[in-house]
A and B are shown apart, each in its own frame.
Chain A
Amino acid sequence: EAQLVEFGGGLVHPGGSLRLSCAASGFTFSSDWMNWARQAPGKGLEWVASINQDGSARYYADSVKGRFTISRDNAKNSLYLQMNSLRAEDTAVYYCARSRNNANDYWGQGTLVTVSP
């Protein structure tokens, strides 16, 4: 069965940077689109970014465009999210998810990012 595990979250100051990782197992990672989504405390889900199988196509929510970069390493079965110029409103649990049939069928457990002075 597919498994996704995120790590790399933590406390960062406004304006700082953080890199999240997502380790994939149990499926052929290089065959699937992958996504990042987030959820601020007490709020709903927000799509953040998507990347295609070979990394040649990447899409971002307007709220993170120009600050966040999604990438992947198929040899390491890993997905990444480089987050720069972090703001308080980026505080959230960040999830990685596999995309199939235009839906996210497997999700990680999430990693918490807190942006605070």
Chain B
Amino acid sequence: TVLTQSPGTLSLSPGDRATLSCRASQSLSSSYLAWYQQKPGQAPRLLIYGTSSRATGIPDRFSGSGSGTDFTLTIARLEPEDFAVYYCQQRGGSFGGGTKVEMK
């Protein structure tokens, strides 16, 4: 299964809402879709698993949704520490190409 993320880059300001897309080449069980955040020089951090369940310690401004082939990560109000690269992953295997959320 190939995961395609869009857009490649999102230019937003603190306080904005961010909507990131992840499209799968074939239908996925909702149990199999996860989202990660990665900052420069750091390992990825799990945000969302099972499409919509927040990992331990993740603020509730992060939410995930979707089904079938279309999945979305939403950041309700961007904080300065949220500017980073975000990846989706299917079933602990292949990753999407990433979306960079940069400060406008």
Contact = CB atoms under 8 A, between A and B. Distances in A.
Interface in A9-59: 33, 35, 37, 44-47, 50, 59
Contact of B95 (A44, A50, A110): A44
A104 B95 contact: no
Question: Chain A: interface secondary structure?
Answer: strand
A109 B43 contact: yes
Interface string A103-115: 1110111100000
B89 A47 contact: yes
B97 A44 contact: yes
Nearest to B93: A47
Contacts of A50: 92-93
B57 to A, nearest CB: 11
Interface of B: 31-32, 34, 36, 38, 43-46, 49-50, 53, 55-56, 85, 87, 89, 91-98
Interface of A: 33, 35, 37, 44-47, 50, 59, 61, 95, 99-105, 107-110
27 contacts: A35-B92, A44-B85, A44-B87, A44-B95, A45-B38, A45-B44, A47-B94, A59-B93, A95-B43, A95-B44, A99-B92, A100-B49, A101-B31, A101-B50, A102-B31, A102-B32, A103-B46, A103-B49, A103-B55, A104-B34, A104-B36, A104-B92, A105-B49, A105-B56, A107-B43, A107-B45, A109-B43
